[in-house]
Structure 1
């Protein structure tokens, strides 16, 4: 099917011209500044001639890039052509498209503009970005790509299931839903958003207090390396009045107080980020796709084809478990906007029972009956954490020899936490081998329960470290096509008895082959988009 060639919004030409113009303006500046220090014949006055020329060339390049950038929707692919001096043409098959995401900043919303990103399977980065188009065009692209993807997938499954019979009325009715408005599945209530913000801790938010300290330090030249307010807060409890007159004990107090301030500032920044990022979160169903929207300042929306979902995860940290809440994530094989991985939050936070019920309805998995590794694994964790505690005591002793630190032996109190840590790690491990799914649970600080359909498993491997070989243990690693595994680590059942690991390895391979054959004969996606 031929398709009309489209260009970006005209304001893109203005933006590209300014961006390239500033680049062209700055390049002669840096070149002349560097060359003037090397060659005597290079005069600084050249800047007044070369910089305007660079600006004009950059503006011209930006405008040319705008006119040379086109995109089109065809019957089989989404085509993007770009480049001025070096042309690049990309044909993205609908079968590979995992997510279609639309983002809008504050200024974009004011001008009615949006950025459309296409994420594909196995991609380490966004495959195509349309920066930017009108809101109406963004919605049209998302709906049309979703329709074309459903058509291509439906035609493929129809050929496998009944090449001569055509599409039955029920199937046609289900696919026609993609042309209707989305059906709401979940909406994050203000109370749930507040609980999510107060029970989440995002390490990326640590950049904010660090940047604040750097700014205040540069603004207050009299405080040296540390802002004055940090010294003032630590002084009443034994901190130094200045770094020049500081003793070892006062410096340690300063470090402790500064760390506490950093943790509080990071927690506050994390809560603000969570509210801004997940404000107005809504998840809906459009045909066989999940559609979502969220965000206060930067508004995100997108669609996830259900047949691209690789696995489903339930996440909960200690605070969330204490108040009885958990989150639900769906993971695809593409690159998504969440944590640079192909992962989307289907339910950011809900009551734990509700999240588990969502996971069971979504995947069709039976309620898991978890089995734990043998108790020998707990002994292994006890030894591991004891070694870590010994290192902490050794470091304290070394500091005492160099700095004169008194009562270094108090660091031995860390051994009290060793059996507790070993026990908590052990009791939060578990696995369940179901008829159609493998369920793995692990982690204490961020406990993750992942449901993996057998037909989504890529490889099953048995791994043994030196210490595991001595104890007769092994770990079972289960790879899927989800990009999230690269950032969170491959889903693994750790420290099983060797015979159990080998049995699960063989069983997993057989179930994988059987599930793939069954799926090839079936027209089912394997997941339900109506999971409420």
Structure 2
């Protein structure tokens, strides 16, 4: 008889998600049954068995959907191993995927409306390997989801410490200090934010609904009735004259403003409700959402750079947004929104907590080459100049009397394009100090990028044919999870930036950055 090795470790047992996940699938089946029930009921109108047939179809869809929801739950298991987490799924064909803890960059929790009502969360694991969630568990209870997230992080940190030969200094869940709130948005801030999120997307939806409703309501008949009403009262309408037209135009603009503002307001409140950014021992934790609640944690050492942006109107009132460029994904983007609507004095402590600084008052700014400014103006206006030549030639042959009018339009556009480039050049600049590099651009809506030199991976100078001839180039800086390019830099300055960045890269131990 062979004795069992005394140090053999028991194999971890596969676990299932919360049984209430079946209920979520059943509610989804009920939702999917609504349209078929309505279709059968309307198509068999006037017949006694119409309602019974519609109910029968709906019941069949619900039963089949609920059955497959149970099978999916029954066949979905996850195993928390010593080195990785493994998820097995599939009813007819099985699929098994595993991700080592060291590859997991982020573990986020998401709660859509129905799961949130049942106290369930979807746990999403991201590795940054090309765009989306590598693994997802739907659904666990809120406590189980938070416990799994903390367990994955602890094992990832422990594994990273073992690989580097040091012990991980990340605190355990019981030792973790209280979080520090860095930025929050209450109802008042959301209302102000919504005023700047004017949107007319709802009109496209209403137009689609009008086309759909035309099959049930004879809109043409309604228009004919309205036309008959106005024709019967033609003298009264004519008496109002211009006053009626002005009032109609004002009413139309008022409706557009109200609908556009309401649309933006609804979008802001549903997406940003309860927005809270905290500084925890494990990084930045962001929670937001009214119907779909998301809970994302961004480790500090994963923040590669910051982007401060704004829009034309909100910039005039001092409002900006702040994003972290990260290796992890946030709704399909490589940048995490950490302050969607904030003043600069609110942004400053956030980026300081991430290890960045706003440019100082005595920063040494450098603009793009004047030759780049001239070339950009010529290139952007060249399309309109060619258009003026082509259309002007054709007009001289077939309609000479329209020549000045036809030629003047593209020429004016060419002047506008050239002027815009000349103006934009004044606001396009960069600065390099001992620890970071900053680039700003934009006239009506400025945008700034900040990256620490320690986290840049490469530096190169790209030159096209015109740039080589004119003596400038584009400096491309390797930033994991994002792009950092400074166009039109004079060649001597570009070489200086590259030399200083490469000097920092050569003196950097990147293993210390990853485990810090």
User: TM-score interval w.r.t. the shorter chain?
Assistant: 0.7 to 0.9
Q: 2:190 aligns with which of 176, 193, 200?
A: 193
1:66 deviates by: 1.7
Residue in structure 1 matched with residue 323 of structure 2 by the alignment: 329
Q: Which has the larger radius of gyration?
A: 2
Query: What does 1:175-190 correspond to in 2, within 5 Å?
Result: 179-190=176-187
Corresponding position: 1:12 with 2:6: no
Q: Which residue of 2 aligns with 1:64?
A: 71
Picking from 92, 111, 116, the partner of 2:123 is 116
Deviation at 1:477, TM superposition (A): 1.3
Identify which range, 471-480 or 350-359, moves more after superposition: 350-359
1-side partners of 2:513 and 2:329: how far apart?
Answer: 28
How far does residue 464 in structure 1 lie from its aligned partner after superposition?
A: 1.9
User: Which is worse superposed, 258-267 or 9-18?
Assistant: 258-267
How far apart are 1:55 and its partner, in Å? 8.9
Determine the structure 2 residue equivalent to 1:295. Answer: 289
1:407, CA displacement in angstroms? 5.1
Distance 1:270 1:410, change over 3 A: farther
2:306 matched residue in structure 1: 312
Q: 1:77 aligns with which of 79, 84, 88?
A: 84
CA contact (8 A) 2:108 2:124 kept: yes
Where structure 1 has 5 or more consecutive residues not aligned to the other structure, the ranges are 27-49, 232-257, 526-532
Q: How does 1:311-390 map to 2 (within 5 A)?
A: 311-337=305-331, 340-365=332-357, 367=359, 369=363, 370-390=365-385
Q: Is the 8 A contact 1:317 1:444 kept in 2?
A: no
Q: Secondary structure at the match of 1:86?
A: coil
CA deviation vs aligned residue, 1:472-529 (integer Å, no higher than 9, x gap): 22101123221xx3xxxx32100112233233334323322212x2x5457973xxxx
**Contact preservation (8 Å) 2:182, 2:349:** no
Matches within 5 A, 1:150-299: 150-157=157-164, 159=165, 171=169, 179-200=176-197, 207-220=201-214, 269-299=263-293
Deviation at 1:409, TM superposition (A): 5.6
Counterpart residue number, 2:3: none
Q: How many pairs does the alignment contain?
A: 451
Does residue 97 of structure 2 align to residue 90 of structure 1?
Answer: yes
Q: Is 1:217–1:223's contact at 8 Å kept on the other side of the alignment? A: no
TM-score by length of 2: 0.73
Retained in 2: the 8 A contact 1:328–1:355? yes
Task: Report what 1:477 is aligned to.
Answer: 476
Q: Deviations over 1:182-202 (max 9, x none)?
A: 33222124443334333357x
> 2:389 and 2:260 mapped to 1: Cα distance?
30
Query: Match of 2:486?
Result: 493
Distance verdict in 2 for CA 1:362–1:215, change over 3 Å: same
Deviations 1:335-373 (A, max 9, x none): 222xx1122122222212432453244224473523211
Between the aligned partners of 1:354 and 1:52, the Cα distance in structure 2 is 54
Equivalent of 2:503 in 497, 510, 515: 510
Query: Closer, same or farther in 2 for the Cα pair 1:342/1:521, shift >3 Å?
Result: closer
Q: What is the DSSP-based 3-state SS (H/G/I as helix, E as strand, rest coil) of the residue aligned with 1:333?
A: strand
Instruction: Classify the secondary structure of the residue corresponding to 1:296.
Output: coil
Distance (whole Å) between structure 1 residues aligned to residue 59 and residue 173 of structure 2: 56
Structure 1 segment 400-439 matched on structure 2, within 5 A: 408=406, 411=409, 412-415=411-414, 417-439=416-438
Shift of the alpha carbon at 1:453? 2.5
- Aligned to 2:359, what secondary structure does the other structure show? coil
> Following the alignment from structure 2 to structure 1, what is the Cα–Cα distance between the partners of residues 261 and 278?
31
- SS of the equivalent of 2:477 reads strand
Q: Partner of 2:149: helix, strand, or coil? A: helix
Structure 2: gaps of 5 or more residues: 1-8, 36-56, 228-251
Structure 1 residues 481 and 176: alpha-carbon distance in aligned structure 2, compared to 1, 3 A threshold: same
2 CA distance for matches of 1:183 and 1:440? Answer: 30
Q: Which has the higher contact order (CA 8 A, sep 6+)?
A: 1
* C-alpha contact 2:161 2:515 (8 A) present in aligned 1: no
- In 2, the alpha carbon distance for the partners of 1:436 and 1:175 equals 32
Contact persistence 1:187–1:281 (CA under 8 A): yes
Q: 1:213 to 1:69 in 2, by over 3 A?
A: same
User: Aligned partners of 2:98, 2:356: CA distance in 1, in Å?
Assistant: 35
Residue deviations 1:412-438, cap 9 Å, x none? 543553354113421332222222322
8 Å contact kept, 1:21–1:57: no
Q: Equivalents in 2 of 1:399, 1:51: separation in Å?
A: 65
1:126, CA displacement in angstroms? 0.9
Equivalent pair of 1:325/1:352 in contact (CA under 8 Å): yes
